[in-house]
Structure formats: structure tokens, C-alpha cells
């Protein structure tokens, strides 16, 4: 069962899935985080902001940004760092981001976050909160097994291939969230063109992909992040990703059963 979303909701969901993908898949840099802080990126979201878990995640990340900004402002004695820039003032955001990257306090905070990202999601040996589907569902946590190949085949059906194919697992949660963002964009374009049959097929593809490859282990992954994250930034990222996905799959009549700690489809 698919409950179509409004064009604005589809567009917002596409943006949020792309952001979630970046949070998990891309190693944090001072430049990226400075732009997030300057724009107060996590103070709001165009989709899932009314979901309590996603909202809590955003609040955690926004708090990290506020603390990082305040530390830089105190170090540099720079009044312009005291508050985020206006949403539509890209020039001011760029200036503030540049100032942040010149702050030793901010660079130190970024270094802490980078080390945490490596420990949680990439680490030498077994990460503390692995983002790989294979880690949770394959026997002996075997990488490049059936999960990886199944996800790779789905990507290829849509003309996509990861950059380091055969060297990096395709079933990374960050990659899969990015793929969902891609499918949402295709659905949005199909609906805008009036091709409802194609739009429905793309929605069904999202439903199946999430149900088969993400939902079965997402709660366990979130628990791992909550248990091992030490910063507000990644505590928030874990909750935001989980809340975003849980909110989005309600359109497919799938809900998260908190007592069973599992996603279930309404009958």
C-alpha cells in the first residue's frame, strides 16, 4: 500500500535522505562541518522534523554545532560567530565558514568528530556501529556476500554503480540511503511529468528496497550508535537517520513497533 506524498514532501524527503547518506558515508571535514554550522543546517529539516526521534536527532546535532560555534567565537573574539547566518545569505555563510576553519578550537572539535566517525562506522577491524547490511544478516558477518551482490544488482538496474565496486561493499547504509534519495527524485520527476504508472513503480521499488535491505537491522544499528557514540553530533545522526526512515516508510503502511523493536507492515 502506497500513500502518495505531496510534491513538497517528496522533495523534502529526497534532500533529507541525501543528507543522511552524507552523514554516514563521508568522513567529516572541517570545510563541510563549517558550512553546516554557519547555515545552522540541523535547526530544521524539510521532512520528518515532526517525527519525535528524528527531531531529537536534529536537536543533538544542532547543539553540537552551537557549542562548536561558541568555542570558536570565544577563542577568536569574533562577534559574527555568535549566531548562525540567515538562510538566504550564502555570502555570509561562506565568510563564517571560513572563519570557523581558522579556529583552532573548531578544528579540534572536528578532529574529535572525525575520529568518532572512524571508530563507529569505518574503524580498523570491526566498527562499533557498522553500516553494512552484511554485518547484521550474513553468516559470520561475511562481506561481499549475497546482500552485497543483491544490492549491487538493484543499483545496476537503475544505471548506477559505486565508484569502488569490488573493493567496497555496496550494502553500506550511507550508499543505500543515497540510492533511496535517487529513487525519490525519479518518482518526483515522474509525478511532475504526469506518468503515474512509472511513479507508482518507483514507489514500490523504494518500499521493497527498504523493507528487504534496511529495515530488518536498522534498530540494531541505531542501538549500536546510541551505545558507542560519545558526541552529540553522532548521537544525533543515529536518531535522525532512524527517525527519517521510520517516518518515510509510513507511506508504505510500515510502522516501527517499539515493544518488539521491529518494523511491521500494517494489514
The C-alpha cell that represents 120 in the structure block: 563507529
Q: Is the dihedral of CA 92, 93, 99, 102 positive or negative?
A: negative
Dist. CA 158–CA 156, nearest whole Å: 5
pLDDT for res 223: 97
Answer yes or no: are the C-beta atoms of 9 and 247 closer than 8 Å. no
Locate the domains of the chain by residue range: 7-130+230-265
Answer yes or no: are the C-beta atoms of 170 and 148 closer than 8 Å. yes
pLDDT for res 144: 65
pLDDT for res 228: 97
Report pTM: 0.94
Residue with cell 565558514: 97
DSSP state of 6: P
DSSP state of 86: P
Report mean pLDDT in 10-residue bins for the chain, 267 residues: 87 98 96 94 95 98 95 86 81 92 96 96 85 86 76 90 70 96 97 96 97 97 97 98 98 94 90
Q: How far is CA 65 from CA 77, 99, 112, 116, in A?
A: 18, 14, 13, 16
Amino acid at each position: 500500500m502506497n500513500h502518495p506524498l505531496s510534491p513538497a514532501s517528496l522533495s523534502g524527503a529526497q534532500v533529507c535522505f541525501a543528507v543522511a547518506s552524507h552523514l554516514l558515508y563521508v568522513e567529516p571535514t572541517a570545510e563541510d562541518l563549517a558550512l553546516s554550522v554557519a547555515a545552522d543546517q540541523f535547526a530544521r529539516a524539510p521532512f520528518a522534523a515532526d517525527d519525535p526521534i528524528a527531531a531529537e536527532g536534529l536537536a543533538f546535532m544542532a547543539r553540537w554545532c552551537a557549542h562548536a560555534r561558541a568555542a570558536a567565537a570565544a577563542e577568536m573574539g569574533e562577534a559574527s560567530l555568535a549566531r548562525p547566518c540567515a538562510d538566504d545569505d550564502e555570502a555570509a555563510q561562506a565568510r563564517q565558514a571560513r572563519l570557523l576553519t581558522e579556529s583552532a578550537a573548531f578544528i579540534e572539535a572536528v578532529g574529535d568528530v572525525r575520529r568518532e566517525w572512524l571508530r563507529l562506522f569505518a574503524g580498523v577491524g570491526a566498527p562499533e556501529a557498522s553500516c553494512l547490511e552484511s554485518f547484521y544478516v550474513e553468516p559470520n558477518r561475511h562481506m561481499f556476500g549475497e546482500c552485497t551482490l543483491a544490492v549491487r544488482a538493484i543499483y545496476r538496474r537503475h544505471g548506477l554503480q559505486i565508484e569502488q565496486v569490488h573493493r567496497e561493499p555496496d550494502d553500506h547504509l550511507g550508499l543505500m540511503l543515497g540510492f533511496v534519495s535517487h529513487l525519490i527524485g525519479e518518482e518526483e520527476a515522474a509525478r511532475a511529468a504526469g506518468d503515474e504508472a512509472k511513479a507508482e513503480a518507483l514507489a514500490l521499488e523504494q518500499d521493497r528496497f527498504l523493507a528487504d535491505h534496511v529495515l530488518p537491522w536498522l534498530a540494531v544499528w541505531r542501538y549500536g550508535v546510541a551505545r558507542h557514540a560519545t558526541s552529540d553530533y553522532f548521537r544525533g545522526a543515529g536518531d535522525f537517520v532512524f527517525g527519517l526512515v521510520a517516518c518515510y516508510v509510513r507511506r508504505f503502511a510500515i510502522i516501527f513497533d517499539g515493544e518488539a523493536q521491529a518494523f511491521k507492515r500494517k494489514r
